[in-house]
Amino acid sequence: MHVVYPVVVAALLFSIGVYGVLARRNTILVLMSVELMLNAVNLNLVAFDVWLRDVLHGGQVLTLFVIVIAAAEVGIGLAIVLAVYRNRRTIDLDRLRELGEPVEPPVGDRG
Amino acid sequence: MTTAATVVLLPFIGAVAGLLGSRWPRGRSRTEENNARAARRAAWLAIVPLPVALVLLGYLVWRTRVGPGLDWPPGTFYADLLPGFRSGAWGVIETGGVPITVGLQIDGLSVLTAILVCVVALGVQVYSVGYLRGDPRYPSYAAFISLFTSAMLLVVFAADLLVLYVGWELMGLCSYLLIGHWWEDRGNSRAAVKAFLVTRLGDVAFLFGIFTLGFAAGSFRIADVLAADLPEGTLVAATLLLLGGVAGKSAQVPLHTWLPDAMAGPTPISALIHAATMVAAGIFIVARLFPIFPQPTLDVLGVLAAVGMLGAALAALAQDDLKRVLAYSTISQLAYMAAALAAGSPGAAIFHLMSHGAFKALLFLCAGAVIHHVGSNLLSHMGGLRRVLPIPFWTMTIGFAALVGLPPTSGFFSKDGVLLALEHSASPIRLLLYGSALITVGVTGAYATRAWLRGFFGEQAPLEPAHGHAAPPTMLWPLVVLTVPTLLFGFLGAGDLALGSAAVTLVVGLLGVAIVLAAWRAAPAADPARLLGPFRAPCEEAFYLDRVYDRLVTRPTMALALLVVRTDTSVVDGAVRGSGQLTLRLSRLVKLAQQGNAQLYVTGLLAGVLLIVVGAVVL
Amino acid sequence: MNSGWVLVALLAVPLAGAAGLLAPAFAGRVPRLYGLVVSGLALGLAAVALALFDFSAPQRVQFETDLAWIPGLDLRFHLGLDGISLPLVVLTTLLVFLCFVYLAGRSAAPDGPGVRLAGLRPRALVFTLLVLELGMVGTFVALDLLLFFVFFEVVLIPMYFLIAIWGGAERRAAAVKFILYTLLGSAVLLLGLLLIWSQAGTLDMVALAAAHPMTRSAQVLAFLAVGIGLAVKTPMWPLHTWLPDAHTEAPTVGSVLLAGVLLKMGTYGFARIAIPILPEGAAVVAPWLGAFAVVGIVYGALACLAQRDLKRMIAYSSVGHMGFVLLGFATLTPVGLNAALFGNVAHGLITGLLFFLAGAIKERYGTADLTELGGGLLTRLPYVGSLLTFACVASLGLPGLAGFWGEMLALQGAFAPGGELSRPLYLTFMTVAGLGAVLTAAYFLVMLSRVTHGVAAEPVRFADVRRAELVAWVPLVGLTVLFGLWPGGLLGLTDPVVQVVLGVP
Amino acid sequence: MIQDIDYWAIAAPLILALVAGLVLLLDAFLPRRAQVRTLLGMVTLAGVLAALGVVVAQAVRGDQIGTFCVPGGACSFVVDTYTLLLAGLALAAGAVVVLLSMGELAGGRIPVGEWHFLLLAALTGAVLLPASRDLIMLVVALELVSLPVFALTALRRYDGRASEAALKLFVVSVVSTAIMLFGVSLLYGITGTVHLEHIATALITGTGLTIADGAAVLTVAVVLVVAGFAFKVAAVPFHFWAGDVYEGAPVPVAALLSVVSKAAGFAGLILMLTHGLASETATWAPLVAVIAALTMTAGNVLALRQHHPVRLLAWSSVAQSGYILAPLAAHLDLASALKAATPTDTETMVASLPSPSPGTTDSTGNALVIVKDQAMDLGQVAGSPLAVQASLAYLVFYAAMNILAFSVVMLVSRDRGDLDDYRGLIRRSPVLGLALAFALICLAGLPPGLAGLFAKVAVFREVVFGGLGWLAVVMAVNTVIGLFYYLSWAARLFAPGESRAAERPGRTPVLVAVGAALLVTVAFSAVPQLVFFTIS
């Protein structure tokens, strides 16, 4: 199998992830989209590793680490989402806007 | 040389001592007693240097009585009289360009002029003691006169054009300070400012003229400049620029307008500045540099003089203010000197300068005595004063006679010398000069007679007891003393008298006198100026020149100034403030993306990455 | 000869003085004479430098110290003094000392509107002024481009606080404008200096001035950057608008030092860096510099003519005077450079005095608005009025006083510009500048006429000159007269240096 | 294959990790009392200081150690000057952050053990990152810096603002990580190796590359790899999170983010760019220039007219990142320079490198090998080492002054801080006021803050020397904008105002932190050659 196929699939997967991040308001869904992106990376790495016949198997090692990282991220992410939900009763990303630039009065003539 | 330096420095030291030391050590309290004590001390400090200087000048006369001098045109009286020439320097200031020589030079011209200056200054200082009795600011006044004298002496003796310029400008300052002596009155203040600014305008041109000469000759020393062989074009340009300064200081058309206004100062100041010294400086400098004045420049000077002498005389005829009459008369007489210079006769010019210095100082001091008595400058407030003020009457009569040019006064000889020079000059504008001068002689007779009649004859006007006391002796003595040169000085030049020409002049002058006399006899109460008919108003306003200048120069300048101030805040500073505002606007704009929406952040992030990727790949 | 300690001490004294103030012993109150003593010590050191200076060779760098400071940046602690910097160092120490004299007198005076200044945080005030002195003196003695820049920057913060804390009603905005504007200038200056460095490979001013290793185009670019940076500080039209605000709001001592010394740092840079190191760049840019200078002269004068505030007017007059100084530089002739350096010192003395006087008037009247001041100053405050007249007359360039020589020689330089510069163009500059001189006289006299002449609105008399004020002002008056009558004293110092700078054989 | 592990080389991160575990254990078994809180803090501090001691010892010995090496010479973990400098920086800043934490934890609303554990974990990552020399280590270390910080931010459990900040940080971070990992996977695919050294060799010599030289994929990979680090240093367009997160997070976390985490980000970025991608300078240098310009401008503009001190510091630190990035853009493009250079130019350029004689540069191949060798040793020469040095110097100075500012803010600010709280601080508390004023003036880059000034000068120099005139002008303008907001804050310190200082518990450790930071900053200002000497 030519390396292009898995790479194109990975790219598509990554794009879907990006779309999900952009389109979803629910934080959990955003989290899942990020997982898609990470899995695209994994697919890439494994495919390259095989294709390159890397004796050190750098790609595979990295894949393992990425999986671990993804797990950790999900763990912490869900914990944070929980905390947010407890405090705010919502997990919609675009409704968490307490922090942000305050609305300014019109520009004066200082400066 | 040290003698000349001492002459210059004596009044200067007097000025410094008078300014700093008059009130010392009790400067703060301004009681009557303190004022009087300060005035006494100031008067001594002001007067004492002058006789000493005169003695030293006498020594200089003796030193310059023989010796090879500079190359003057034949018949130049001061060169004939005192042919000696000396110069010396105390050092050279390296400026990186043409060096400046700190030095003085002595010759007949400078010694004689210096004597005139010192004599008039002495008279004025003595006279002022009485004239300003009780004025708390007398000490500074006297010191300024001393400073003024010193500056004029520096001009007279300077061997270097830039050193001369120092004295030249210092005079401008002193005239500003003295004209504005009574600064409580805004009018005086304005007149002082005007005098300074108008002369300074001329002085800038003068300075550029000095540059031209100095750079062309490679030296600012007068002797070097005179000796240098300069191209005609440079000379014309340089001397024309110098004329600017001459016109300013000697109140020639078109920069003469400050002089009538300058009459706002105390009368002795008018006598000093506007008779003997500052106004003489312009004529003096032309005479000093006469050898390098090319014909075209002299022609320009001649035209200005021709216009100035007649115009000023006509203006004098219509003035109601006695001092303004004298002021316009001064302009007119200075134009005579300028005309003589234009005709190629510095000797006649300086001769007239000296005699004019004497009689005009006399006239002003007399006028001062009259004004002191009447409390007003206006002729319409005077009349019938000959009985009340006998000494001023007689001395002023002599002065007017000299002004008209009646024998045997000095004015007769000197004016005749000028007219003779004009008549016989090789100048291409000889006819214009001579004709104008002759008519002016007539007009001079007319205005002098008018002023004399209106002041001393006719009904006595009710007096304003402004100065209840009579003039003190210190004011009268200088009058009497000044009549002596007025009467006798002319005989120095008696040898050159040409009878035919003198007769013509005399007749024309008497004609003017006669016409006014006739008009006065016909209606003693009316002003003989009515003879001018429809020209009276323009003459009285000096042909509206002040208004023209106001419209053309003063107002546009002020408008421009306001425009600049507005531009500065709205455009120049506006750009600065605008860039600040722009930054703040940008800040608001960028902050729109920071309203707290994390999804927006991620979108921005991904869009940014996409943009960068595309950019990096494409570029 | 190993006399470098003088300059090091000259920098160390204000620094140690300022550092000493941080000691807790001074908390709350500071001895009235502390600043006086420290600045007097600095003045004494400057006098020592003056005494030890070899006047026979002012073009030689004397009192040199050359130590490596930051090898990573090639920054050397290189100090030295020559005929250009000596007068400015003395002027700086003198003005700072006089400022302290003035302040000491003020804090000693009984209750009045003026006490506020000195009464408010005297420790901070003394500290600020001493740091300011450090920066000013350092700028004039630095011989390393980067060191020069460091000192150039040192003055910004103290001056900012001087205006922002002890200033007038609109002080905050004025101070911000001052520091932002001048910082922009010095940032551009830094770019220029770095450009020189990158092209020439050294930061040593002496070496750079001796050899000009840069190409013509690089020189032009560097001159533009350095020139703009310095022109902001000078200030040159149209980069001047920070100046009027800063002067109007600054306290008296701030105005005095701002006009007396800070502006000189800009012009000094032209004499020390821009022209000697970048001669070809200077030759290309000079006509533009001259044009802006001349516009500045006339523009400043016109702006003064319609000004309503005394301090603001004097500030704009500085724009005009600095125009003359820049015109002198733009001629690229020895006489022009001498003129500029002379004008520098003269302006420091005269405008310093003017600001002292304006401050004294503002303090007594409570306003510096010309209309509110009314007339009759000579009646109400005869001595202040007379001194104001003197200062104005000196400032308008009367011969016999220091202001004259700078102007006259600048015009003389423009009469015959150096090198390849276009003569007709410079003659035009000269003429316009000459008219500017007339306008200068006009606004000063009109102002004098408005303020000193006339009848006072109210007969109330204020305290005339106090003793401390007199002590602070008399040296300025004396030096103005001295240099006016004896310009050789200063020209003899600068001329040999200028000849070397311009490579005149 | 069994690898030898050089425990001395990895001593610093090892100590941190062990102490982290110890802290967690102690917390679990000791009672929850105030003294225990202090004890845990002291233990953490001791751990950090011990690690710092190791780093200092390694620096003093002049160690050049590599461990976890593969056949072929490439090591995954390298201790050299560069590593030690950045590790030392992270640890020193970390120690101050620990002190600040003790102040924060004194409030009692935050679980102490977890806090210190997470802090130590993040520090482990920060120490690990500059030592990493392969992609895997880099990724893992980077995540090790990131993940604990999410938790730290959210650790104030009942504070909605903290949770919100954590969430935002988390989302932006994971997206950035994903992007970077995608780039890493592409880079791996292109070069076939994960070791930076091998990547560089492959890219320079072209051996082992799977694609043609100069293909777009490589560019894409470079950009994406840079993304992850750009997020850490909050460069545009990865800066959006900074304001909200700094504001919502506890102040020590904000300090951690702005100094330790940023230093780690720069460590990785510089490693990646100058080590792995040295041959691709032509691709990334212009990119870095544009990003630097945008970053400093955006940061400064956003910081204008801020009223929240921490938010202001957040944007200011974004702007400062721009300055740190700028010299990298002036990094000498060795490969193309060598390719395009005329012999004389090559000679002059190579002559500036320490060892090779001009004779060896005659053939391009030789020169490239030399360059590659040189490039491996960052501590000495890589292209224009001065550019990197300028960045590092700026980073060091920045860390000192920024942490000083945060320390003072920690003492003065309340939760919803306002700049007006600082009015009259100079009279309430002269030392704090002066310290903050000094920090701000340093950040603005003006004397007497000579540290800031020299940092800026160094940066400006590299940019001007690199011929990036436009970037220099942008920097100049930005310096002015920056001064505006620093000053408006500094001026408040001197303005008259009422006392509104909130007396909070746990002042002592924070005061110690202020003192230490002030001492270092003043030292840097007085003798800035210390830093320049250490770096060069």
Q: What is the ipTM of this complex?
A: 0.88
Percentages (nearest 5) of helix, strand, coil residues in chain C: 75, 5, 20
Q: Considering only the beta carbons, identify the residue of B585, B597, B606 that sits closest to A18.
A: B606
Q: What is the pLDDT of residue D415?
A: 63
D305 and chain B in contact, CB less than 8 A: yes
HEC assignment per residue over B41-88: HHHHHHHCHHHHHHHHHHHHHHHCCCCCCCCCCCCCHHHHHCCCEEEE
Q: How many Å apart are CA B94 and CA C493, to the nearest integer?
A: 10
User: What is the pLDDT at residue B463?
Assistant: 59
Q: Residue D253 has what pLDDT?
A: 94
The token pair at D294 is 């945008």
The least confident of B68-72, C84-88, C369-373, D11-15 is B68-72
How far, in Å, CA of D400 to CA of A62, rounded?
A: 35
- What integer pLDDT is reported at residue D353 of this predicted model? 41
Architecture per CATH, domain A4-94, reads as Orthogonal Bundle (1.10)
**Which residues, listed in sequence order, are joined to residue D510 by a DSSP beta bridge?**
none
Q: Which residues contact B596 (CB under 8 A, 6 or more apart)?
A: A96, A97, A98, A99, A100, A101, D244
Tell me what the pLDDT averaged over chain D comes to.
Answer: 85
> How confident is the model at residue D298, as a pLDDT?
94
Whether residue D76 contacts residue D141, with contact meaning beta carbons closer than 8 Å, is answered with no
Q: Would you say residue D189 has pLDDT above 60?
A: yes
Asked if residue B229 lies in contact with residue B197, where contact means CB atoms within 8 angstroms, the answer is no
**This prediction's pTM:** 0.91
* Bridge partners, residue D77, by sequence: D67, D132
pLDDT: which is higher, D417 or C356: C356
Residue D375 has pLDDT above 50, yes or no: no
**Radius of gyration over every alpha carbon of chain B, rounded to an integer in angstroms:** 30
User: Quick one: which of D278, D291, D277 has its CA closest to D323?
Assistant: D291
Residue B26's pLDDT is 57
Per-residue pLDDT of B382-410, as tens digits, reads: 877 888 888 888 999 999 999 998 888 88
Cβ neighbours for C115, distance < 8 A, ≥ 6 positions apart: C106, C107, C109
Q: Taking the CA atoms of D276, D279, D284 and D289 in sequence, report the sign of the dihedral they define.
A: positive
pLDDT at B25: 64
- Residue D56, CB half-sphere, CA atoms under 13 Å: how many? 8
Q: What is the pLDDT of residue C237?
A: 85
C139 neighbors C268 (Cβ within 8 angstroms) = yes
Mean pLDDT of the D193-209 span = 84
Q: Would the CB atoms of A69 and D140 count as touching at under 8 Å?
A: yes
- Residues of chain B with a CB closer than 8 angstroms to some CB in chain A: 577, 580-581, 583-585, 588, 591, 594-600, 602-603, 606
Chain B and chain C share a number of CB contacts under 8 A equal to 148
Region of residue B355 (left: phi > 0; alpha: psi -120 to 50; beta: else):
alpha
Cβ separation of B605 and D236 shorter than 8 Å?
Answer: no
Cα–Cα distances in angstroms (integers) from residue B308 to residues B241, B304, B349, B543, C1, in the given order: 19, 6, 16, 12, 68
The verdict on D286 touching B (C-beta cutoff 8 Å) is yes
**What is residue D349's predicted lDDT score, i.e. its pLDDT?**
42
Length of chain D: 536
Nearest to C184 among D393, D447, D480 (CB): D480
> Which residues lie closer than 8 Å to D2 by C-beta, 6 or more apart?
none
Mean pLDDT across the stretch B503-525?
Answer: 88
Instruction: Please tell me which of the candidates B205, B207, B212 has its beta carbon nearest to residue C408.
Output: B207
Please state whether beta strands D65-69 and D75-79 pair in parallel, antiparallel, or not at all (unpaired). antiparallel
Q: For D314-364, what is each residue's pLDDT tens digit?
A: 999 999 999 999 999 887 665 555 544 434 444 444 444 443 333 333 444
Q: Which of residues 230-269 of B touch C (CB under 8 A)?
A: none
Chains that touch D (3 or more CB pairs under 8 A): A, B, C
Q: Bigger pLDDT: D278 or C9?
A: C9
Q: What's residue D501's pLDDT?
A: 56
Structure tokens belonging to residue D515: 């003192």
Percent of chain B at pLDDT above 70? 95
| Per-residue pLDDT, B96 | 82
Could you give the CA distance from residue D522 to residue D435 in angstroms, rounded to a whole number? 9
Cβ atoms of C270 and C330 within 8 Å: the answer is: no
- Sequence-ordered list of residues with C-beta below 8 angstroms from that of C159, at least 6 positions apart, any chain: C132, C178, C179, C254, C257, C258, C262
Q: Which two tokens stand for residue B330?
A: 């001064």
Match 């003093």 to its residue by tokens: D60
Tens digit of each residue's pLDDT (9 = 90 or more) over B217-269:
989 999 889 888 889 999 999 999 999 999 998 888 888 888 888 888 888 88
Which residues, in sequence order, are CB contacts of D88 under 8 Å at separation 6+?
Answer: D52, D55, D56, D59
pLDDT at D374: 42
Token pair listed for C119: 């009464």
Q: What is the mean pLDDT of residues B171-199?
A: 89
Contact B577 A109 (CB under 8 A): yes
Q: What is the pLDDT of residues B287-318, one digit of tens each?
A: 889 888 999 999 999 999 999 999 999 999 88
Taking the CA of residue A60 and the nearest CA in chain D, the distance in Å comes to: 10
Cα-based angle D122, D127, D132 (whole degrees, multiple of 5): 115
Per-residue pLDDT reduced to its tens digit, A28-52: 999 999 999 999 999 999 999 998 8
pLDDT score for D335: 54
Q: What is the pLDDT of residue C468?
A: 84
When pLDDT is cut at 50, 70 and 90, the band that residue B69 belongs to is low
What CA dihedral angle connects A45, A47, A52 and A57, to 10 degrees?
A: 50
Question: From CA B20, how far away is CA B27, in angstroms rounded?
Answer: 9
Considering only CB atoms, which chain A residues are within 8 Å of D192? 48, 52, 54
C205 against D368, higher pLDDT: C205
Nearest chain D alpha carbon to A30: D171
- Angle at CA of residue B454, ends B448 and B459, nearest 5°: 160
| pLDDT tens digit sequence for B129-142 | 888 888 888 888 99
Q: Three-state DSSP class for C433?
A: helix
Q: How many CB pairs under 8 A join C and D?
A: 93
- Higher confidence at residue B200 or residue B35? B200
Write down the pLDDT at residue B386. Answer: 80
For the segment C350-366, what is each residue's pLDDT rounded down to a tens digit? 999 999 999 988 888 88
CB C113 within 8 A of CB C366: yes
Q: Which residues of chain C have a pLDDT value below 70?
A: 1-2, 27-30, 107-120, 459-461, 504-505
Q: C482-486 — which CB contacts under 8 Å span 24+ positions? A: C482/C402, C483/C342, C483/C345, C483/C346, C483/C349, C483/C402, C483/C405, C484/C394, C484/C398, C484/C399, C484/C400, C484/C401, C484/C402, C484/C403, C484/C404, C484/C405, C485/C400
Q: Running DSSP on this structure, what letter comes out for residue C271? A: I
Q: Is the pLDDT of residue B582 over 70?
A: yes
Cα distance between residue C226 and residue C149, in whole Å = 11
Q: C288 is in which domain, residue-wise?
A: 5-501
The single-letter code of the amino acid at A98 is E
Query: Which residue ranges make up each domain of chain A?
Result: 4-94
Into how many domains does chain C fold? Answer: 1
Q: Which of residues 18-47 of A touch D (CB under 8 A)?
A: 21, 27, 30-31, 34, 37-38, 40-41, 44-45, 47
Partners of A97 on chain B (C-beta within 8 Å) are 595-597
Three-state DSSP string of C124-172:
HHHHHHHHHHHHHHHHHHECEHHHHHHHHHHCHHHHHHHHHHHCCCCHH
First to last CA, chain A: 65
